[in-house]
Structure 1
Amino acid sequence: MNTMSHGGYTARIEFDERDGIFVGRILGLRSIISFHGETVTQLRREFAAAVKDYLRDCEAQGLAPEKPASGKLLLRVPPEVHSRALVAAQAKGKSLNQWATEAIQRAVAEG
C-alpha cells in the first residue's frame, strides 16, 4: 500500500489508470476525505489543502477534529490467549504492552 503523511494524518494513495491521476483518501477517520492530483507535487498540495479544509470545517462546526489514532488500544481476547501472551512477554523479560506493541509492529510490517 502506498501512503503519504501530512500534519499527523495518513492517506492511502492509488493511481487511477483510466483518468491518469493519483487519488488519495485519508485513513483512520469516520469522515471520507479524498483528494487527487496529476503529479506527486500536486497530490501533496491537494492533501495539505484537504487536511486544512477538514480542520477549518471542524472549527466552524465547533467539533474537535478526529485524530487517526491516539496510541491507546484496548483489546478483548480470550483468557487463554491473554495468559499465553503474558507468559510469552515475561519469558522475553518484557511487559505485555511492550511485547504486544512489537508483535503488532511485525504484523503491520508484513502487510
Structure 2
Amino acid sequence: MNTMTYKGYTARIEFDDRDNILVGRLLGIQDIVSFHADNVADLRTAFEEAVDDYLETCAKLGKKPEKPASGRLMLRVPPEVHSAALVAAQAAGTSLNQWAAKVLAQAAHAG
C-alpha cells in the first residue's frame, strides 16, 4: 500500500487512471479528507495542506479533530480464540494485552 504520514495522520495514495492524477485520502477517521495532484511533490504539499485545513476547520467549528487511533481497541472474538490467545500470552509470560499488542504490530507490519 502506498501511504504518506503527516502530524500523525496517514493517507492512502492511489493513481486515478481516468484523470491521470494521484489521489489521497486520510485513513482511520470517519471524516472524509481527500486531496490530489499531478506529481508526488505536489501531492505531498496537497496532503499537508489537507491535514492542516482539516485541523483548522475543526478548530473553527469547535469540533475535536478525529485521531486515527487512541490506543484503545475493543475486540469481539469467538471464545475459543480468546482462550487460545490467553494461553499463548501466559505461555509467553506476558499479559494478554501485551501479547495482543505484539501480535497485532507484527501482523500490521507484515502486510
* TM-score in terms of structure 1 length: 0.91
In the TM superposition, what whole-angstrom CA distance separates every residue of 1:22-75 from its partner, at most 9, and x where no partner exists?
100001111111001111110010001101111111111111000010111111
- How far apart, in 2, do the equivalents of 1:78 and 1:39 lie? 46
Structure 2 runs not aligned, ≥5 long: none
Q: CA RMSD in A?
A: 1.3
The secondary structure found in structure 2 opposite 1:98 is helix
1:64 counterpart residue number:
64
Shift of residue 92, structure 1, vs aligned partner:
1.4
Following superposition, the deviation at residue 11 of structure 1 comes to: 0.2
Aligned to 2:28: 28
Listed as ranges, the matches of 1:39-78 within 5 Å are 39-78=39-78
Letter in 1 for 2:21: I
- AA matched with 2:98: Q
Gaps of 5+ in 1: none
Shift >4 Å, 4+ stretches:
none
Give the aligned residue type for 2:62: G
Q: Give the total of aligned pairs.
A: 111
Please give the alpha-carbon distance, in whole angstroms, between the structure 2 residues aligned to 1:80 and 1:42: 50
CA distance in 1, matches of 2:81, 2:11: 33
